[in-house]
Amino acid sequence: MYTIMVCEYLHNTNLLSPDLGQKLRKKIVTKNNNRNKIILDFAGYDYMSSSFLNQALGYILINKKWSIREFKKNIKWINVNKDDKLDFDLALENARNKLRLIQNNIDPEKFFREHLPAC
Amino acid sequence: MANIIKIEKILKPTSQYPIQNILLDTNIIINYEDPFGSVAPNLNAKISQYINVLKSHYTINSIFVTALEYFNYIQVGFYNVFVDTHEGTFEKYSSKEFKQLRNKNSEFAASWNLHLKSFVRTFKKHFPPFDTTREIYSLTVIQNFDGNKVDFGDEILYQYAMKLSYPVILTMDKDFKSYPDELNLIQL
């Protein structure tokens, strides 16, 4: 079991940019490759964006071709506001959909352009 | 033409704009919430950052019509994404099919439930509708609506904004520029 203090590691309490998400993902993957289960401790964060979560967590699910259940067996999170927990589930759900598209040789960006209503 | 204000200007501590409420257009909420993980990451991060800073200075609201437009976006988008990623067939959105899947397919129902919870949170906590007691849906609004410049949702948002002491909308939609200069648009 390996705990990452997210805000300390990223030196930031505003978890908004995709770059920060990528940096966290690299750390998670390195530690998880040693078969450690990872605990992400979000104590002290102020804000969190969807793009941060997609980069930090979503792309792990996609790259490892995990199911959501496998993901949750390997990676857990604590000290997340009740309201924001929903964003974690949505990030994994969206990553699973993207993985399905990629496995069917469909480019997710093109897919979304064609399948989502104009806004 | 509507008055354009660069967002950096209203975020300055010396800002002279008498803004109290800022109304959000649907495209801003979609790019902020990113319900399908489809928004360009840098755009989502930029909008999230601006919204968080704006929230610390001003009251930010949606309106009911925006909630309706957003709901339509997630409902149609969710159906299209689910059907094609799970069943490999692209069926155009059908409300009848949507209801059937929701009632018979537990995976569909569980995923949709996540989006519904997120929808409620968006409009209950993040961007509550502005002044829900005000009734602006008079027939005059419909009679005077020029559908060639903006869509009807934009028109209602404009009508609400004009009820503010300082009418201002945060949007990425250039159509709003066609309104007179009493309306202020915050540009990202």
Contact yes or no for A17/A51 (Cβ under 8 A): yes
Q: What's the burial of A79, exposed, middle or buried (CB within 10 Å: 0-12/13-18/19+)?
A: middle
Residue B59 has pLDDT above 70, yes or no: yes
Task: Provide ipTM, 2 decimals.
Answer: 0.92
Contact yes or no for B65/B156 (Cβ under 8 A): yes
- What are B's interface residues with A at a Cβ cutoff of 8 A? 26-27, 30-39, 41-42, 44-45, 48-49, 52, 72-73, 76-77, 80-82, 84-86, 88, 90, 111, 114-115, 117-118, 121, 125
Model pLDDT, residue B132: 63
Distances (CA, A) of A25 to A15, A21, B34: 13, 6, 20
User: To which H or E segment does residue A2 belong?
Assistant: strand A2-5
Report CB contact under 8 Å: A17, B73: no
Report CB contact under 8 Å: A98, B41: no
Nearest to B41 among A54, A91, A100 (CB): A54
Q: pLDDT (tens digit, 9 = 90+) per residue, A15-73?
A: 999 999 999 999 999 998 878 899 999 999 999 999 999 999 999 999 999 999 999 99
CB pairs under 8 A between A and B: 99
Residue A88 has pLDDT above 80, yes or no: yes
- Among B42-56, B84-98, B168-182, where is mean pLDDT lowest? B84-98
Report CB contact under 8 Å: A51, B85: no
Name the β-bridge partners of B60: B22
Residue B13 has pLDDT above 90, yes or no: no
Residue A118 has pLDDT above 90, yes or no: no
Model pLDDT, residue B133: 65
Model pLDDT, residue A34: 72
Q: What rounded mean pLDDT belongs to chain B?
A: 89
Q: Tokens at residue A99, please?
A: 């993985």
Domains of chain B: 3-187 (3.40.50)
Model pLDDT, residue A89: 96
Nearest to A94 among B37, B42, B86 (CB): B37
Interatomic CA distance for residues B95 and B75, integer angstroms: 9
Write out chain B residues lying below 8 Å of A109, CB-based: 38
The amino acid sitting at B17 is Y
Sequential DSSP letters for A43-112:
TT--EE-HHHHIIIIIHHHHHHT--HHHHHHHEEEES--HHHHHHHHHHHHHHHHHHHHHHTT--HHHHH
Residue A108 has pLDDT above 80, yes or no: yes
Report CB contact under 8 Å: B45, A86: no
User: To which H or E segment does residue B59 belong?
Assistant: strand B59-61
Report CB contact under 8 Å: B85, A16: no
* Percent of chain B at pLDDT exceeding 90: 64
Confidence band of B24 (pLDDT split at 50, 70, 90): very high
Q: pLDDT (tens digit, 9 = 90+) per residue, B136-176?
A: 666 777 777 877 888 888 998 999 999 899 999 999 999 99
Q: What rounded mean pLDDT belongs to chain A?
A: 94
Across the beta sheet with A2-5, what order do the strands follow?
Answer: A2-5, A38-41, A75-78
